[in-house]
Amino acid sequence: MRDPAFSFEFFPPKTPQGTEKLRATRQQLAQLRPKFFSVTYGAGGSTQDRTLDTVLEIQREGLPAAPHLSCIGSTREGILEILERFRAHGIRHIVALRGDLPSGTVDVGEFRFAQELVTFIRERTGDWFHIEVAAYPEFHPQARSAHEDVLHFKRKVEAGANSAITQYFFNADAYFNFAEECEALGLTIPIVPGIMPITNFMQLARFSDACGAEIPRWIRRKLEGFGDDVASIRAFGLDTVTALCARLLEQGAPGLHFYTMNQAGPTSTIWARLGL
């Protein structure tokens, strides 16, 4: 088995202060030698330029970086233009997603699903890009059934995805059950668990309600019980997420992808506790 691959995700900063904070975060996390950093892409491509600028700055520092690219609300011509910009800058690794429409927008564009984006990328650029796609161990909130969701993931792989990053979760069994289902369908690409450090309960609850990630009842009740005690929330969060990561790696997960929220501290602490 290959050594586990670790990666860290950022969002493009909106302000000069945010840019400076992200630089400091990146310098700290770069010491952990991740396989790559990824940079998110706003709803409907709303952060397109800032995503690319952040990726290029990371690359100038000699670090591997992968922009996210979402297709909902986009045209084929527009996506091709972005791909050509990526190629012109020597970018070889992307995270291909369906994404979300900006609020108030109804035009879904020329792509309905991520598999159509992956197919388009392969048709237009061949093997230039290493393509990551999303996976949902607890199933996409819009999937009609669990089985349908796994088949949808299979179509993304067959379209040309090289590897996958999961939505974050706190139930390791959900990940292992999903991985077994994929293996039974003959899917052999690495499916890397997405890891969300717990630092702010209200923020986590809001994210989870929006994306369909389940906060197990025992975790939710513990976090609710801490009220405004930030230190206790963070200590419990570190213990809980470190234990999750340890189990995932011990039972064969091919790596971990940390949703850093542009903070170095929680991810670095979990990393140290894992003895990586």
61 is catalytic: no
Catalytic residue among 9, 116, 132, 138: 9
- The length of the chain in residues reads 276
Q: Which of 133, 61, 123 is nearest to 93 (CA)?
A: 133
Map residue 88 onto helix, strand or coil: helix
Instruction: Determine the Cα–Cα distance for residues 18 and 47; give it in Å rounded to an integer.
Output: 14
Residues 16-51 as b or e (16 or more Cβ within 10 Å = b): eeeeeebeebbeebbeeebbbbbbbbbebbbbbebb
Tokens of 173: 């069994």
Element of type H or E holding 268: helix 265-274
Instruction: Determine the Cα–Cα distance for residues 275 and 197; give it in Å rounded to an integer.
Output: 17
Catalytic residues: 9
